[in-house]
Amino acid sequence: MADTGVVAVLGAGSWGTTFAKVLADAALATGAERSIRIWGRRDEVVAQINAEHRNAQYLKDIALPDSITASTDVAEVLAGAGIVILAVPAQSLRLQLRKWKPLVEPGAVVVSLMKGLELGTDSRMSQVISEELDIPQERVAVVSGPNLAMEIARQEPTASVVACSDEATAVSFALYCTAPYFRPYTSNDVVGVEIGGIVKNVIALAVGICEGKQMGDNTKASVITRGLAETSRLALALGGDARTMAGLAGLGDLVATCSSPLSRNHTAGRLLGEGLTLDQVTERMTQTAEGIKSGYAVYELAGKLGVDMPITAAVVAVLEGKLSVDELGPRLLARSLKSEGDY
């Protein structure tokens, strides 16, 4: 992995800013010199990062290291960057990459923090990156796992996964982002890691709806467990590894996202369960709940592959207005009787 000492983080939301902090703290821990530049769309966010070393809109009063700067000029951010971190909404990625392609340094490693499936193509983010930037998969890495940004920004101990088809790239980047509170493991199962991060958002919407309807822990545990089963079915159908589903990028991410009030998808589901319309939820949310956008793409992909995903189907029906939140609970467990081990 070519390390120029310059890292570009494209996206100034909670996770992009938090991961910039992880990279800066990792450098501080090893004594490495590193310049981390964040690209953001909003002048006020960029100005606050530069002047106050804060991003109050997304991370409240968390202090950011001095090695982090920000700009609204993407060319300035990408200049000389040997590592490019992408943390933008999944559905806007392809069009943005087409504009950014001439600005990305030759040989740069591109890392996806995104957990979405593209509508229309059913492409994972690593596939979109490779296609639009015309770079081999060996230079595309994915970070996933239980990544609740605020907890990591507060430096609460967290384990995660760096996945890449090239083991050397995965190991190099894992070392690059190892901070005292952030411990990455490596994987070559890019498919499984990405699918785990994508589908858990849809399952979190279902769990959030159950919570909004004041259903109990038995219900939520049942949905989480069966949600893991249908996530595994899809991952395996795409060539993923079953062991990934039992790890940080599968079970770990699913539990965190379905259980925490810090989860955007859990929050969006809870608001739907409390009776808000989808438009009202979208208006209230300050950040994208990827499960709302990616749910239909997941459902469509499962249909093409002949994979049974009843929880995903029910959530999509709610999002499309074909099923009320009152009907969701009974629908979630309304399958014909079968052995639990039958995936």
The Cα-based distances of 129 to 33, 110, 136, 137, 307 in angstroms read: 28, 8, 9, 9, 26
pLDDT tens track for 181-217: 999 999 999 999 999 999 999 999 999 999 999 999 9
Largest CA distance in the chain: 60
pLDDT for 337 beyond 60: no
The Cα-based distances of 221 to 224, 227, 228, 309, 316 in angstroms read: 5, 10, 11, 17, 20
**Mean pLDDT, rounded, of the chain:** 93
pLDDT for 220 beyond 80: yes
pTM: 0.93
Question: Is 230 assigned to a binding site?
Answer: no
pLDDT for 335 beyond 70: no
- Average pLDDT in the 145-158 region? 96
Contacts of 275 (CB under 8 A, 6+ apart): 212, 325
Pair 232, 308: CB distance under 8 Å: no
Structure tokens at 16: 């992009």
DSSP, collapsed to helix, strand or coil, labels residue 191 as helix
Q: State the catalytic residue, choosing from 21, 60, 101, 200.
A: 200
pLDDT tens track for 295-316: 999 999 999 999 999 999 999 9
- Average pLDDT in the 81-107 region? 96
- Average pLDDT in the 126-132 region? 98
Question: Which pLDDT value is given to residue 57?
Answer: 93
200 part of the active site: yes
Confidence of residue 329 (pLDDT cuts 50, 70, 90): confident
Question: Is 33 assigned to a binding site?
Answer: no
Confidence of residue 342 (pLDDT cuts 50, 70, 90): low
Q: How far from the centroid of its chain's Cα atoms is residue 341's Cα?
A: 28
Question: Is 265 assigned to a binding site?
Answer: yes
